[in-house]
Chain A
Amino acid sequence: GQNIDQPTEMTATEGAIVQINCTYQTSGFNGLFWYQQHAGEAPTFLSYNVLDGLEEKGRFSSFLSRSKGYSYLLLKELQMKDSASYLCAARRSNDYKLSFGAGTTVTVRA
């Protein structure tokens, strides 16, 4: 099986930076995805990492360390609309399904 852990909740101030950590124990690891999910809505794709390093997309960046089984999602210049749940998901080689963590609820305060 897979074990994916991320913090339950985080709070930050508008304009600040927040880093959401995710650790995984996935045999045959083949990719780490981050999704954003607003309450009552579908998860929307944010980023994908399969090699070690940092992927940057505007205000959002994602980092992966395969040797440590660790990823983080960095949200910069926080806006109120960034208040949402952030889901970390891992995929195995030759297996197309995603295994999700429970999600991290980020609350952005004015």
Chain B
Amino acid sequence: DTGVSQNPRHKITKRGQNVTFRCDPISEHNRLYWYRQTLGQGPEFLTYFQNEAQLEKSRLLSDRFSAERPKGSFSTLEIQRTEQGDSAMYLCASSQGTSPTDTQYFGPGTRLTVL
């Protein structure tokens, strides 16, 4: 069973540019989550999908952020008009909602640097 994968692993962009990240969850995991992590902090929740439905968005997710999971498999997170404050590690996780613990398994993350 392959784990959660994310692409790209690193992204450097200039302020004002748009960026898009991709997450491929563990196969047959119906739940997918996006988190953001900055240095010295734990991951902060951004948004969550059950199958293709986006069920919750954090207030951290400004209008410049959008996430999709069109076929209930992979997901994309887009940031428009990037700002320096968007620099962080963006983590994706997935879980099997029918399991007793519903444990979330994380991907390697995409490290975004906004210059």
What is the interface of chain A, defined by CB distance below 8 A to chain B? Answer: 4, 31, 33, 35, 40-45, 48, 50, 87, 89, 96-103
Residue among B42, B45, B103, B111 making CB contact with A45, cutoff 8 Å: B103
Residue among B95, B107, B111 making CB contact with A96, cutoff 8 Å: B95
Give the residue among A41, A42, A89, A103 with the most B Cβ atoms within 10 A: A42
Q: Are A101 and B42 interface neighbours, CB within 8 A?
A: yes
Output the nearest chain A residue to B46 by Cβ-Cβ distance. Answer: A97
* A-facing residues in B22-44 (Cβ within 8 Å): 31, 33, 40-44
- In the complex the two chains form, what is the Cα distance from A98 to B108 in whole Å? 17
Output the nearest chain A residue to B104 by Cβ-Cβ distance. Answer: A98
Q: A98 and B101 in contact (CB under 8 A), knowing A41-B108, A43-B91, A43-B106? A: no
B residues near A96, Cβ cutoff 8 Å? 31, 33, 48, 50, 56, 95, 97, 102
Q: A42-B106, A45-B105, A89-B42 are in contact. List 11 more A-B contacts (CB 8 A).
A: A4-B42, A31-B101, A40-B111, A42-B107, A42-B108, A43-B43, A96-B48, A96-B97, A97-B45, A97-B56, A98-B43
Q: How far is the CB of B50 from chain A (nearest CB, A)?
A: 8
- In the complex the two chains form, what is the Cα distance from A37 to B103 in whole Å? 16
Give the residue among B43, B56, B102, B107 with the most A Cβ atoms within 10 A: B43
- In the complex the two chains form, what is the Cα distance from A35 to B106 in whole Å? 10
- In the complex the two chains form, what is the Cα distance from A107 to B63 in whole Å? 40
